Structure 1
Amino acid sequence: MNYSLVKAGFFGLLFLLQVTYSYAQSSLFTPEITSRLAALPIHCIHQEFPNKTGHSSDAPEDHRLLPSELHPSFYGCLDWHSSVHGHWMLVKLLKLYPQLPEKDQIIQILNTSFDPAKIKIEADYFTKYKTTRSFERTYGWAWLLKLDEELYTWGTPQAKQWHQNLQPLTQTILKLWTDFLPKQTYPNRTGVHPNTAFGLVFALDWARTTKNTSFEQAVIAKAKNFYLTNEKTPAYLEPDGADFLSPSLEIADLMRRVLPQDEFVKWLNAFYDKRSIENIVKMPVVSDRTDMQIVHLDGLSLSRAWCMKGIAKNLPAKHKYKQLFEHTAETFLSTALPNVTSGNYGGDHWLASFAVYAIFAN
């Protein structure tokens, strides 16, 4: 594949997304657009370097292992979690367009990544070393469950086999998270990977989809424990300089899943004040897309959009935030989509996944 041509055509593609975007009904997500988006994870899933492993070594010999030796399924796209949600994106797109021109490439990638021997090494990694039980906690864990959920809801024989092959890793993550929840005394309210609310959103979605009621109830209990009495959140201080998640909106996106509508409305009214609302509807400023941390702010626009879409759907028609959140979500998406690729790997290795999730989130 000529990746330079992919990049050259991408701005035109994203202009089409701007023009046709209407809360992203799948009928508007054309095969052509799907192909262009798929090119990004297809390119990076087997690109081993540059690489940020996040590995803590027990001994000198551990330090000398290549990323592909540590993580034979999810070593590309710079880091483990980006590789996982790149795989999620390919699964999502292939589900939408089974006859995608890149179908054979995607199937080959998924067959390779979901090889049972490789998945076993991935699962064993979390218990093989002294310090790896907390590896990718909870952002990478969340995306792994989202990948598992996407496969679980895809009824083809091939998807069922991939889902079955993934189970050693899925069950390892589930056990780690189940063990961790009772010990997590305080939530992480950052706007980057360790954010607790983001992780619990994906965990809850997975639990409900797979009908794992015990995990579902544990997640709900922890969400209420952490956030039910929160009031006047200081969202007027958002964002930090490298945020790709909104700490306040992630909490609200979780609580709209946890509470009945009338209770959620009361909670939301107490959670935000005027100053915070006025701040979170402002478009994040991205001063340098070649900077791997600053470019996170493009992702913030996309994650704010998916949170606001979901929150708005759970508000009654006359609520003061409903139309504001709907309009702001559309503005954030239409403004951010042209920046999904800047031609710099710092954004190209992950932003397309955020774009696809934002478009189809509900």
Structure 2
Amino acid sequence: MKLRGEMAASFARLTLGHVGQRYPFKLDQVLSGPEDLVEPHLLHPIFHGSFDWHSCVHGWWQLLTIARLQPDLAETIEIRARADDMLVPEKVAGEVAYLARPYAAGFERPYGWAWALALHGEAVRHQAGWGAALEPLARAFAERFKKHLPKLTYPIRVGTHYNTAFALVLARDWAAAHDEALVKLIDERARRWYGEDRGCQAWEPGGDEFLSPALCEALLMSRVQGAQFAGWFEAFLPDAVSGSPATLFTPATVSDRSDGKIAHLDGLNLSRAWCWRSIAAALPTHPIAPVARTAAGDHLAASISHLADDYMGTHWLATFALLALTS
């Protein structure tokens, strides 16, 4: 399955209905006093209106990516107009200012940090002022990664927003073009944390996970290990070619898409599709490649038709569908 115009338009419509809108919203904000009890758009001039801050950030990444890949869509006109209004220096300054609050050191760590870098990386690919405007925010989060990673003794392996490997995939992709020192730090930490992992059991998914700890780790190591990745992968998932562990090849069942946590499992299917397709691309002549592509197709098919079933999915799932379709 590939990203086509009609599908891209539907993704864009889903997300344009949320980002930058006043309501509904959820804000995991830092409260340092009663003056902070204000509407989210006053604290976050850009990233509000999509239930949570990080969903709005990657919603913008999704919209700008669609605008680049499908420039002739009618929705692209609205995307560009909205970006011209929102992705401007004075509003970015408001987002950066929030990070200086006394208790904001852990705000959106590491998921939102990584998506902010990915958004900047996409913005600079457009002939507009969006990338230059967003750069101070991206640099602020890059510096946070540089301070945080050396003191993170152990990686976080859960399949939710705190997953270290997923964040470092996005951060490293950005840093490859914008921050060589961050690339070196990510590679050093990844090798330290994951380099000797062997025989992964892949006891997943948990009931509210939208990321695969095993496959996110493998995807990160495909970036870090280069030519040595095949050997690492064979030790990490020694029976993958035969479809084991079966948990990594079986799409998750989503029993209630109106439940925000259970709906995460649609995201798991989509993010696994992204991981499997990316791993196949990293090992194109390896026996795992056709197996990985089949697994990717199975996972994509399980959830791609459910993006608009309920708001608990519509405010974020299209991003992961886009990752899977463009990997």
Q: TM-score, normalising length from structure 1? A: 0.86
Q: 1:218 aligns with which of 149, 163, 185?
A: 185
Whether 1:360 and 2:304 are equivalent positions in the alignment is no
Q: Which residue of 2 aligns with 1:205?
A: 173
Residues in 2 aligned to 1:318 and 1:169: alpha-carbon distance in whole angstroms: 40
Whether 1:296 and 2:264 are equivalent positions in the alignment is yes
Deviations 1:175-203 (A, max 9, x none): 11111111111111010001000011011
Residues in 2 aligned to 1:167 and 1:348: alpha-carbon distance in whole angstroms: 28
Q: 1:229 aligns with which of 196, 205, 221?
A: 196
- Contiguous gaps of at least 5 residues in structure 1: 1-20
Q: Which residue of 2 aligns with 1:86?
A: 59
Deviations 1:150-208 (A, max 9, x none): 12233x2x2xx111111121111111111111111111101000100001101111111
Contact residue 199 and residue 237 of structure 2 kept, 8 A: yes
Contact residue 239 and residue 246 of structure 1 kept, 8 A: yes
Alpha-carbon shift at residue 277 of structure 1 (Å): 2.4
Q: TM-score, normalising length from structure 2? A: 0.95
Count of residue correspondences: 324
Residues in 2 aligned to 1:122 and 1:68: alpha-carbon distance in whole angstroms: 10
Q: Which residue of 2 aligns with 1:243?
A: 209
Q: Which residue of 1 aligns with 2:119?
A: 147
- Contiguous gaps of at least 5 residues in structure 2: none
Contact residue 20 and residue 46 of structure 2 kept, 8 A: no
Alpha-carbon shift at residue 276 of structure 1 (Å): 5.1
Alpha-carbon shift at residue 143 of structure 1 (Å): 0.8
Alpha-carbon shift at residue 115 of structure 1 (Å): 2.1
Q: Which residue of 2 aligns with 1:66?
A: 39
Q: Which residue of 2 aligns with 1:18?
A: none
Residues in 2 aligned to 1:194 and 1:30: alpha-carbon distance in whole angstroms: 32
Q: Which residue of 1 aligns with 2:75?
A: 102
Q: 1:310 aligns with which of 270, 278, 281?
A: 278
Alpha-carbon shift at residue 253 of structure 1 (Å): 0.2
Contact residue 92 and residue 150 of structure 1 kept, 8 A: yes
Tell me the SS of whatever aligns to 1:153.
coil
Q: Which residue of 2 aligns with 1:260?
A: 226
Residues in 2 aligned to 1:260 and 1:93: alpha-carbon distance in whole angstroms: 29
Residues in 1 aligned to 2:136 and 2:97: alpha-carbon distance in whole angstroms: 9
Deviations 1:63-83 (A, max 9, x none): x12111111100111011100
Deviations 1:250-290 (A, max 9, x none): 000000111133x2222112212548522110110100001
Alpha-carbon shift at residue 316 of structure 1 (Å): 5.2
Q: Which residue of 2 aligns with 1:47?
A: 21
Contact residue 48 and residue 78 of structure 1 kept, 8 A: no
Alpha-carbon shift at residue 147 of structure 1 (Å): 0.8
Residues in 2 aligned to 1:125 and 1:56: alpha-carbon distance in whole angstroms: 9
Pick closer, same or farther for the CA change 1:185–1:116 going to 2, 3 Å: same
Contact residue 73 and residue 112 of structure 1 kept, 8 A: no
Letter of the aligned partner of 1:45 in structure 2? V
Letter of the aligned partner of 2:278 in structure 1? G
Whether 1:335 and 2:294 are equivalent positions in the alignment is no
Deviations 1:274-321 (A, max 9, x none): 4852211011010000101100000000100111111112225242x2
Alpha-carbon shift at residue 98 of structure 1 (Å): 1.9
Residues in 1 aligned to 2:286 and 2:183: alpha-carbon distance in whole angstroms: 31
Report matched runs for 1:313-328 at 5 Å.
313-315=281-283, 317-319=285-287, 321-328=288-295
Residues in 1 aligned to 2:144 and 2:50: alpha-carbon distance in whole angstroms: 24
Alpha-carbon shift at residue 112 of structure 1 (Å): 2.3
Tell me the SS of whatever aligns to 1:238.
coil
Q: Which residue of 2 aligns with 1:125?
A: 98
The RMSD of aligned alpha carbons is: 1.5
Contact residue 201 and residue 245 of structure 2 kept, 8 A: no
Residues in 2 aligned to 1:48 and 1:294: alpha-carbon distance in whole angstroms: 26
Residues in 2 aligned to 1:171 and 1:315: alpha-carbon distance in whole angstroms: 32
Residues in 2 aligned to 1:318 and 1:68: alpha-carbon distance in whole angstroms: 49
Worse-superposed segment, 99-108 or 131-140: 99-108
Q: Which residue of 1 aligns with 2:157?
A: 189
Whether 1:286 and 2:249 are equivalent positions in the alignment is no
Residues in 2 aligned to 1:120 and 1:201: alpha-carbon distance in whole angstroms: 26
Q: 1:174 aligns with which of 127, 133, 142?
A: 142
Residues in 2 aligned to 1:309 and 1:32: alpha-carbon distance in whole angstroms: 22
